[in-house]
Structure 1
Amino acid sequence: MNASCEAQLRGYADLIQRWNPAINLVAPSTLNDLWNRHIVDSAQLADLAPAAGTWLDIGSGGGLPGVVVAICRPDLAVTLLDSDARKATFLRTCVRELQLPNCRVKTDRIERHPPAGVDHVSARALAPMPKLMPYVVRHLRPGGTAWLMKGENWKAEVESVNTSWHFDLREHPSRTQSGAAILELTDIRHG
Protein backbone atom coordinates (compact mmCIF):
# COMPACT_ATOMS: atom_id res chain seq x y z
CA MET A 1 0.00 0.00 0.00
CA ASN A 2 1.60 3.27 -1.10
CA ALA A 3 1.54 6.50 0.92
CA SER A 4 -1.15 8.31 -1.11
CA CYS A 5 -3.37 5.22 -1.02
CA GLU A 6 -2.93 4.97 2.75
CA ALA A 7 -3.71 8.67 3.24
CA GLN A 8 -6.96 8.32 1.27
CA LEU A 9 -7.85 5.13 3.18
CA ARG A 10 -7.36 7.04 6.47
CA GLY A 11 -9.72 9.71 5.16
CA TYR A 12 -12.22 7.00 4.25
CA ALA A 13 -11.93 5.48 7.74
CA ASP A 14 -12.66 8.93 9.21
CA LEU A 15 -15.81 9.21 7.08
CA ILE A 16 -17.02 5.80 8.29
CA GLN A 17 -16.39 6.83 11.92
CA ARG A 18 -18.40 10.05 11.44
CA TRP A 19 -21.33 8.51 9.55
CA ASN A 20 -21.61 5.16 11.34
CA PRO A 21 -23.70 6.32 14.34
CA ALA A 22 -26.44 7.54 11.96
CA ILE A 23 -26.38 4.83 9.28
CA ASN A 24 -24.64 1.77 10.76
CA LEU A 25 -22.19 1.20 7.91
CA VAL A 26 -20.22 -1.38 9.91
CA ALA A 27 -21.11 -3.23 13.11
CA PRO A 28 -20.46 -0.85 16.02
CA SER A 29 -18.55 -3.63 17.81
CA THR A 30 -15.95 -3.58 14.99
CA LEU A 31 -15.28 0.19 15.00
CA ASN A 32 -12.37 -0.14 17.44
CA ASP A 33 -10.59 -2.31 14.88
CA LEU A 34 -11.93 -0.56 11.78
CA TRP A 35 -8.52 -0.33 10.10
CA ASN A 36 -7.58 -4.04 10.22
CA ARG A 37 -11.04 -5.63 10.30
CA HIS A 38 -12.47 -3.66 7.38
CA ILE A 39 -9.95 -1.46 5.54
CA VAL A 40 -6.91 -3.78 5.41
CA ASP A 41 -9.23 -6.76 4.88
CA SER A 42 -10.77 -5.09 1.82
CA ALA A 43 -7.38 -3.91 0.53
CA GLN A 44 -6.48 -7.56 -0.09
CA LEU A 45 -8.74 -7.42 -3.16
CA ALA A 46 -6.83 -4.46 -4.59
CA ASP A 47 -3.64 -6.51 -4.32
CA LEU A 48 -5.19 -9.52 -6.07
CA ALA A 49 -7.04 -7.83 -8.92
CA PRO A 50 -5.40 -7.77 -12.35
CA ALA A 51 -4.62 -4.48 -14.07
CA ALA A 52 -7.37 -2.32 -15.53
CA GLY A 53 -10.95 -3.21 -16.30
CA THR A 54 -14.45 -2.56 -15.00
CA TRP A 55 -15.52 -3.49 -11.48
CA LEU A 56 -18.94 -3.74 -9.82
CA ASP A 57 -19.19 -4.02 -6.04
CA ILE A 58 -22.65 -5.43 -5.29
CA GLY A 59 -24.36 -4.64 -2.00
CA SER A 60 -21.68 -2.04 -1.32
CA GLY A 61 -23.18 -0.84 1.95
CA GLY A 62 -20.45 1.30 3.50
CA GLY A 63 -18.16 0.78 0.51
CA LEU A 64 -16.32 -2.31 1.65
CA PRO A 65 -14.55 -3.47 -0.45
CA GLY A 66 -15.56 -1.19 -3.37
CA VAL A 67 -14.32 2.16 -2.08
CA VAL A 68 -11.06 0.57 -0.94
CA VAL A 69 -10.55 -0.98 -4.39
CA ALA A 70 -11.30 2.38 -6.06
CA ILE A 71 -8.77 4.14 -3.81
CA CYS A 72 -5.97 1.61 -4.19
CA ARG A 73 -6.58 0.81 -7.86
CA PRO A 74 -7.24 4.00 -9.87
CA ASP A 75 -6.73 1.91 -13.03
CA LEU A 76 -10.08 0.18 -12.39
CA ALA A 77 -13.44 1.77 -13.23
CA VAL A 78 -15.43 0.94 -10.07
CA THR A 79 -19.21 1.07 -9.65
CA LEU A 80 -20.73 0.75 -6.19
CA LEU A 81 -24.26 -0.70 -6.18
CA ASP A 82 -26.55 -0.55 -3.15
CA SER A 83 -30.32 -0.30 -2.76
CA ASP A 84 -30.22 1.73 0.48
CA ALA A 85 -30.48 5.43 -0.46
CA ARG A 86 -28.82 6.54 2.82
CA LYS A 87 -25.80 4.31 2.19
CA ALA A 88 -25.65 5.49 -1.43
CA THR A 89 -25.54 9.09 -0.14
CA PHE A 90 -22.62 8.13 2.09
CA LEU A 91 -20.87 6.46 -0.86
CA ARG A 92 -21.36 9.54 -3.04
CA THR A 93 -19.87 11.64 -0.23
CA CYS A 94 -16.84 9.33 -0.20
CA VAL A 95 -16.41 9.61 -3.97
CA ARG A 96 -16.60 13.41 -3.77
CA GLU A 97 -14.50 14.02 -0.64
CA LEU A 98 -11.83 11.42 -1.49
CA GLN A 99 -11.75 12.63 -5.11
CA LEU A 100 -12.27 9.27 -6.80
CA PRO A 101 -12.82 9.98 -10.52
CA ASN A 102 -12.73 6.21 -11.25
CA CYS A 103 -15.71 5.52 -8.99
CA ARG A 104 -19.46 6.01 -9.34
CA VAL A 105 -22.49 5.04 -7.25
CA LYS A 106 -25.77 3.45 -8.36
CA THR A 107 -28.81 3.14 -6.10
CA ASP A 108 -30.73 0.05 -7.17
CA ARG A 109 -31.49 -3.52 -6.19
CA ILE A 110 -28.93 -6.02 -7.51
CA GLU A 111 -31.56 -8.19 -9.18
CA ARG A 112 -33.30 -5.22 -10.86
CA HIS A 113 -30.22 -3.29 -11.99
CA PRO A 114 -29.60 -3.73 -15.73
CA PRO A 115 -26.89 -6.34 -16.38
CA ALA A 116 -23.59 -4.49 -16.01
CA GLY A 117 -21.34 -6.68 -18.19
CA VAL A 118 -18.27 -5.89 -16.07
CA ASP A 119 -14.89 -7.61 -15.88
CA HIS A 120 -15.08 -8.09 -12.09
CA VAL A 121 -17.85 -8.40 -9.49
CA SER A 122 -17.11 -8.27 -5.76
CA ALA A 123 -19.18 -8.97 -2.67
CA ARG A 124 -18.29 -8.90 1.02
CA ALA A 125 -20.63 -9.96 3.82
CA LEU A 126 -23.61 -9.79 1.47
CA ALA A 127 -25.25 -13.21 1.20
CA PRO A 128 -24.51 -16.95 1.11
CA MET A 129 -23.26 -18.32 -2.21
CA PRO A 130 -26.58 -19.90 -3.33
CA LYS A 131 -28.10 -16.42 -3.30
CA LEU A 132 -24.98 -14.64 -4.60
CA MET A 133 -24.33 -16.75 -7.70
CA PRO A 134 -27.31 -15.49 -9.78
CA TYR A 135 -26.36 -11.88 -8.89
CA VAL A 136 -22.76 -12.44 -9.94
CA VAL A 137 -23.68 -14.09 -13.26
CA ARG A 138 -26.23 -11.36 -14.01
CA HIS A 139 -23.58 -8.63 -13.89
CA LEU A 140 -20.36 -10.31 -15.11
CA ARG A 141 -19.35 -10.27 -18.74
CA PRO A 142 -18.54 -13.70 -20.25
CA GLY A 143 -15.06 -14.59 -19.04
CA GLY A 144 -15.29 -12.20 -16.06
CA THR A 145 -14.14 -12.86 -12.52
CA ALA A 146 -16.11 -12.90 -9.27
CA TRP A 147 -14.32 -11.96 -6.04
CA LEU A 148 -16.26 -13.20 -3.01
CA MET A 149 -14.93 -12.40 0.44
CA LYS A 150 -16.01 -15.26 2.70
CA GLY A 151 -15.58 -16.20 6.35
CA GLU A 152 -14.50 -19.45 7.98
CA ASN A 153 -17.39 -21.47 6.48
CA TRP A 154 -16.41 -20.74 2.89
CA LYS A 155 -15.76 -24.42 2.05
CA ALA A 156 -19.30 -25.39 3.08
CA GLU A 157 -20.67 -22.51 0.99
CA VAL A 158 -18.75 -23.69 -2.06
CA GLU A 159 -20.05 -27.23 -1.53
CA SER A 160 -23.62 -25.89 -1.27
CA VAL A 161 -23.49 -24.65 -4.88
CA ASN A 162 -21.34 -27.39 -6.45
CA THR A 163 -24.27 -29.30 -7.90
CA SER A 164 -26.07 -26.32 -9.45
CA TRP A 165 -23.11 -24.12 -10.45
CA HIS A 166 -19.83 -24.91 -12.16
CA PHE A 167 -16.78 -22.65 -11.99
CA ASP A 168 -13.05 -22.59 -11.67
CA LEU A 169 -12.11 -21.66 -8.12
CA ARG A 170 -8.93 -20.22 -6.75
CA GLU A 171 -8.99 -19.52 -3.04
CA HIS A 172 -6.77 -16.88 -1.48
CA PRO A 173 -6.34 -17.25 2.30
CA SER A 174 -7.27 -14.09 4.16
CA ARG A 175 -4.37 -12.21 5.71
CA THR A 176 -6.67 -10.62 8.29
CA GLN A 177 -8.98 -13.40 9.48
CA SER A 178 -7.87 -16.94 10.21
CA GLY A 179 -9.82 -19.49 8.15
CA ALA A 180 -11.44 -16.88 5.91
CA ALA A 181 -10.74 -16.62 2.18
CA ILE A 182 -11.20 -14.54 -0.91
CA LEU A 183 -12.75 -16.75 -3.57
CA GLU A 184 -11.76 -16.01 -7.16
CA LEU A 185 -14.34 -17.57 -9.48
CA THR A 186 -13.95 -17.76 -13.24
CA ASP A 187 -15.71 -19.63 -16.06
CA ILE A 188 -18.99 -19.56 -14.10
CA ARG A 189 -21.94 -21.43 -15.56
CA HIS A 190 -25.26 -22.66 -14.24
CA GLY A 191 -26.46 -26.25 -14.45
Structure 2
Amino acid sequence: MFHVKRDGDAARQPLPPPPDLTPDKAARLDTFLDLLLRWNARINLVAERDAEAIRIRHIADSLQLAPLIPRGTGPIADLGSGAGFPGLVLAIATGRETHLIESDRRKAAFLTEAAARLGLSHVRVHPTRIENAALPPLAAITARALAPLIVLLPHAAKFLAPGGVAIFPKGRTAEAELTDALPHWHLQVERFASRTDPSSTIFRLSELRGPDA
Protein backbone atom coordinates (compact mmCIF):
# COMPACT_ATOMS: atom_id res chain seq x y z
CA MET A 1 0.00 0.00 0.00
CA PHE A 2 1.42 3.36 -1.01
CA HIS A 3 1.14 6.58 0.92
CA VAL A 4 2.28 10.16 0.87
CA LYS A 5 3.78 12.35 3.55
CA ARG A 6 2.60 15.92 3.18
CA ASP A 7 3.83 19.26 4.47
CA GLY A 8 0.30 20.07 5.63
CA ASP A 9 -3.24 19.82 4.29
CA ALA A 10 -2.59 21.28 0.84
CA ALA A 11 -0.66 24.11 2.52
CA ARG A 12 1.75 26.04 0.33
CA GLN A 13 4.96 27.34 1.84
CA PRO A 14 6.50 30.61 0.70
CA LEU A 15 9.47 30.08 -1.57
CA PRO A 16 12.94 30.78 -0.18
CA PRO A 17 14.48 34.03 -1.52
CA PRO A 18 15.68 33.83 -5.14
CA PRO A 19 19.44 33.55 -5.65
CA ASP A 20 21.62 36.64 -5.84
CA LEU A 21 23.11 36.76 -9.32
CA THR A 22 26.69 37.84 -9.86
CA PRO A 23 27.28 40.40 -12.63
CA ASP A 24 28.65 37.57 -14.78
CA LYS A 25 25.52 35.44 -14.33
CA ALA A 26 23.22 38.39 -14.96
CA ALA A 27 25.14 39.18 -18.16
CA ARG A 28 24.82 35.56 -19.30
CA LEU A 29 21.06 35.69 -18.78
CA ASP A 30 20.92 38.86 -20.90
CA THR A 31 22.94 37.16 -23.65
CA PHE A 32 20.70 34.11 -23.44
CA LEU A 33 17.61 36.30 -23.83
CA ASP A 34 19.07 38.03 -26.89
CA LEU A 35 19.88 34.69 -28.49
CA LEU A 36 16.42 33.34 -27.66
CA LEU A 37 14.73 36.32 -29.30
CA ARG A 38 16.72 35.80 -32.51
CA TRP A 39 15.99 32.06 -32.67
CA ASN A 40 12.39 32.56 -31.65
CA ALA A 41 11.69 34.47 -34.86
CA ARG A 42 12.67 31.33 -36.80
CA ILE A 43 11.51 28.30 -34.85
CA ASN A 44 8.92 29.58 -32.35
CA LEU A 45 10.58 28.53 -29.10
CA VAL A 46 8.14 30.47 -26.88
CA ALA A 47 4.85 32.24 -27.55
CA GLU A 48 6.00 35.58 -26.17
CA ARG A 49 7.87 37.96 -28.47
CA ASP A 50 8.52 40.79 -26.00
CA ALA A 51 11.79 40.66 -24.04
CA GLU A 52 10.29 41.86 -20.76
CA ALA A 53 7.46 39.34 -21.00
CA ILE A 54 9.99 36.55 -21.45
CA ARG A 55 11.98 37.80 -18.45
CA ILE A 56 8.92 37.53 -16.22
CA ARG A 57 7.07 34.57 -17.72
CA HIS A 58 10.07 32.34 -18.27
CA ILE A 59 13.36 33.56 -16.75
CA ALA A 60 12.02 34.73 -13.38
CA ASP A 61 9.70 31.71 -13.29
CA SER A 62 12.73 29.45 -13.74
CA LEU A 63 15.02 31.27 -11.30
CA GLN A 64 12.56 30.84 -8.46
CA LEU A 65 13.24 27.10 -8.52
CA ALA A 66 16.96 27.48 -7.72
CA PRO A 67 16.59 27.66 -3.90
CA LEU A 68 14.69 24.35 -3.92
CA ILE A 69 17.69 22.43 -5.31
CA PRO A 70 19.58 20.59 -2.55
CA ARG A 71 22.90 22.10 -1.63
CA GLY A 72 26.05 20.47 -2.87
CA THR A 73 27.64 19.72 -6.20
CA GLY A 74 25.48 16.86 -7.49
CA PRO A 75 24.26 17.09 -11.09
CA ILE A 76 20.79 18.24 -12.05
CA ALA A 77 18.67 17.56 -15.13
CA ASP A 78 15.71 19.14 -16.89
CA LEU A 79 13.23 17.00 -18.80
CA GLY A 80 11.78 18.42 -22.00
CA SER A 81 13.92 21.54 -21.80
CA GLY A 82 12.44 23.24 -24.87
CA ALA A 83 13.81 26.79 -24.93
CA GLY A 84 15.87 26.19 -21.79
CA PHE A 85 13.27 26.78 -19.10
CA PRO A 86 14.00 26.04 -16.39
CA GLY A 87 17.09 23.95 -17.13
CA LEU A 88 19.43 26.37 -18.87
CA VAL A 89 18.48 29.22 -16.54
CA LEU A 90 19.22 27.01 -13.53
CA ALA A 91 22.54 25.98 -15.07
CA ILE A 92 23.50 29.66 -15.27
CA ALA A 93 22.27 30.43 -11.75
CA THR A 94 23.81 27.42 -9.99
CA GLY A 95 26.92 26.64 -12.05
CA ARG A 96 26.26 22.94 -11.48
CA GLU A 97 26.58 20.09 -13.95
CA THR A 98 23.30 20.22 -15.85
CA HIS A 99 21.73 17.82 -18.32
CA LEU A 100 19.07 19.11 -20.72
CA ILE A 101 16.89 16.45 -22.35
CA GLU A 102 15.04 17.61 -25.48
CA SER A 103 13.85 15.31 -28.26
CA ASP A 104 12.95 18.11 -30.71
CA ARG A 105 16.09 18.46 -32.83
CA ARG A 106 15.61 22.16 -33.56
CA LYS A 107 15.17 23.01 -29.90
CA ALA A 108 18.11 20.80 -28.97
CA ALA A 109 20.21 22.69 -31.55
CA PHE A 110 19.21 25.96 -29.91
CA LEU A 111 20.17 24.66 -26.46
CA THR A 112 23.52 23.43 -27.78
CA GLU A 113 24.32 26.78 -29.37
CA ALA A 114 23.17 28.70 -26.31
CA ALA A 115 25.37 26.63 -23.98
CA ALA A 116 28.35 27.13 -26.29
CA ARG A 117 27.79 30.89 -26.72
CA LEU A 118 27.44 31.34 -22.98
CA GLY A 119 30.53 29.30 -22.16
CA LEU A 120 28.54 26.78 -20.12
CA SER A 121 30.93 23.85 -20.26
CA HIS A 122 29.00 22.20 -17.41
CA VAL A 123 25.88 21.82 -19.59
CA ARG A 124 25.22 18.74 -21.68
CA VAL A 125 22.34 18.60 -24.16
CA HIS A 126 20.72 15.20 -24.83
CA PRO A 127 18.79 15.30 -28.15
CA THR A 128 16.75 12.22 -27.35
CA ARG A 129 13.59 10.98 -25.69
CA ILE A 130 13.64 10.94 -21.90
CA GLU A 131 13.49 7.16 -21.63
CA ASN A 132 16.59 6.87 -23.83
CA ALA A 133 18.72 9.43 -21.97
CA ALA A 134 21.85 8.20 -20.18
CA LEU A 135 22.13 10.30 -17.04
CA PRO A 136 24.20 10.14 -13.85
CA PRO A 137 22.42 9.86 -10.48
CA LEU A 138 20.84 13.28 -10.01
CA ALA A 139 20.56 15.59 -7.03
CA ALA A 140 17.53 17.26 -8.62
CA ILE A 141 15.31 16.82 -11.65
CA THR A 142 12.95 19.43 -13.10
CA ALA A 143 10.21 19.54 -15.71
CA ARG A 144 8.03 22.50 -16.61
CA ALA A 145 4.76 22.26 -18.59
CA LEU A 146 5.75 18.82 -19.86
CA ALA A 147 3.42 16.08 -18.58
CA PRO A 148 1.18 15.08 -15.64
CA LEU A 149 2.82 13.89 -12.42
CA ILE A 150 1.79 10.30 -13.06
CA VAL A 151 3.97 10.39 -16.21
CA LEU A 152 6.87 12.32 -14.67
CA LEU A 153 7.28 10.31 -11.46
CA PRO A 154 8.67 7.13 -13.08
CA HIS A 155 11.38 9.21 -14.76
CA ALA A 156 12.22 10.94 -11.49
CA ALA A 157 12.42 7.63 -9.63
CA LYS A 158 14.71 6.21 -12.31
CA PHE A 159 17.19 9.07 -12.40
CA LEU A 160 17.31 10.55 -8.89
CA ALA A 161 20.16 9.70 -6.54
CA PRO A 162 19.34 8.82 -2.92
CA GLY A 163 18.25 12.06 -1.28
CA GLY A 164 17.48 13.67 -4.65
CA VAL A 165 14.39 15.76 -5.29
CA ALA A 166 11.97 16.28 -8.16
CA ILE A 167 10.91 19.90 -8.66
CA PHE A 168 7.78 20.22 -10.77
CA PRO A 169 5.91 23.53 -11.23
CA LYS A 170 2.22 22.93 -11.80
CA GLY A 171 -0.79 25.12 -12.61
CA ARG A 172 -4.42 24.78 -11.60
CA THR A 173 -4.36 21.00 -12.07
CA ALA A 174 -1.67 20.50 -9.39
CA GLU A 175 -3.80 18.82 -6.73
CA ALA A 176 -5.75 16.73 -9.25
CA GLU A 177 -2.46 15.44 -10.70
CA LEU A 178 -1.19 14.57 -7.23
CA THR A 179 -4.42 12.76 -6.38
CA ASP A 180 -4.11 10.68 -9.57
CA ALA A 181 -0.54 9.70 -8.71
CA LEU A 182 -0.97 8.89 -5.01
CA PRO A 183 -2.36 5.34 -5.36
CA HIS A 184 0.88 4.30 -7.06
CA TRP A 185 3.61 6.09 -5.11
CA HIS A 186 5.15 6.64 -1.72
CA LEU A 187 6.65 10.11 -1.63
CA GLN A 188 7.33 13.16 0.50
CA VAL A 189 5.44 16.20 -0.81
CA GLU A 190 6.30 19.84 -0.23
CA ARG A 191 4.27 22.61 -1.85
CA PHE A 192 5.48 26.13 -2.56
CA ALA A 193 3.55 29.12 -3.85
CA SER A 194 4.88 30.42 -7.15
CA ARG A 195 6.13 34.01 -7.06
CA THR A 196 5.29 34.59 -10.72
CA ASP A 197 1.83 32.99 -10.93
CA PRO A 198 -0.44 33.02 -7.84
CA SER A 199 -2.49 30.13 -9.25
CA SER A 200 0.56 27.85 -9.61
CA THR A 201 2.08 25.42 -7.14
CA ILE A 202 5.64 24.17 -7.17
CA PHE A 203 5.98 20.60 -5.93
CA ARG A 204 9.24 19.41 -4.39
CA LEU A 205 9.00 15.63 -4.16
CA SER A 206 11.41 13.28 -2.44
CA GLU A 207 11.68 9.73 -1.04
CA LEU A 208 10.03 8.38 -4.19
CA ARG A 209 9.15 4.71 -4.14
CA GLY A 210 6.95 3.24 -6.81
CA PRO A 211 5.16 -0.04 -7.41
CA ASP A 212 8.37 -1.97 -8.07
CA ALA A 213 10.24 -0.71 -4.99
| TM-score calculated relative to the size of structure 2 | 0.83
Q: CA RMSD in A?
A: 1.6
Which residue in the other structure is 2:14 paired with?
Answer: none
What is the identity, as a one-letter code, of the residue corresponding to 2:182? N
Structure holding more strand per residue = 1
Query: Which residue pairs with 1:190 in the alignment?
Result: 210
Mapped contact 2:79–2:142 kept (Cα < 8 A): yes
Partner amino acid, structure 1, of 2:54: L
- Matches for 1:42-53 after TM superposition, within 5 Å: 42-51=62-71, 52-53=73-74
Q: Of residues 134, 141, 151 in structure 2, which corresponds to 1:131?
A: 151
* Structure 1: runs of 5 or more not aligned: none
Q: What does residue range 54-93 of structure 1 map to in structure 2 within 5 Å?
A: 54-74=75-95, 76-93=96-113
The correspondence for 2:142, drawn from 114, 122, 142, is 122
Query: What residue in structure 2 maps to residue 159 of structure 1?
Result: 179
Tell me which of 148, 156, 168 is aligned to 2:188. 168
Q: Does the CA-based 8 Å contact 2:70-2:164 persist in structure 1? A: no
Answer yes or no: is the 8 Å Cα contact 1:61–1:87 preserved in 2. Answer: yes
Superposed CA deviations along residues 20-62 of structure 1, whole A, max 9, x for unmatched, are 1222211247766100000000001123223221101111111
Q: Distance in 2 between matches of 1:115 and 1:70?
A: 16
Q: Is the 8 A contact 1:115 1:138 kept in 2?
A: no
Return closer, same or farther for 1:61/1:127 CA change in 2, 3 Å cut-off. same
Q: Which consecutive residues of structure 2, in runs of 5 or more, have no partner in the other structure?
A: 1-19
Task: After the TM superposition, list the runs of 4 or more consecutive aligned residues in structure 1 that deviate by more than 6 angstroms.
Answer: none
Partner of residue 53 from structure 2, selected from 33, 40, 48: 33
The structure with the larger Rg is: 2
Q: How far 1:141 moved relative to its partner? A: 2.1
Q: Which has the higher contact order (CA 8 A, sep 6+)?
A: 2
Q: Which amino acid aligns with 1:85?
A: R
SS of 1:122's partner is strand
Give a deviation string over 1:118-167, Cα, whole Å, max 9, x none.
12111001111111111222221233111111112211111110111120
Match of 1:148 in 2: 168
**TM-score normalised by the chain length of structure 1:** 0.92
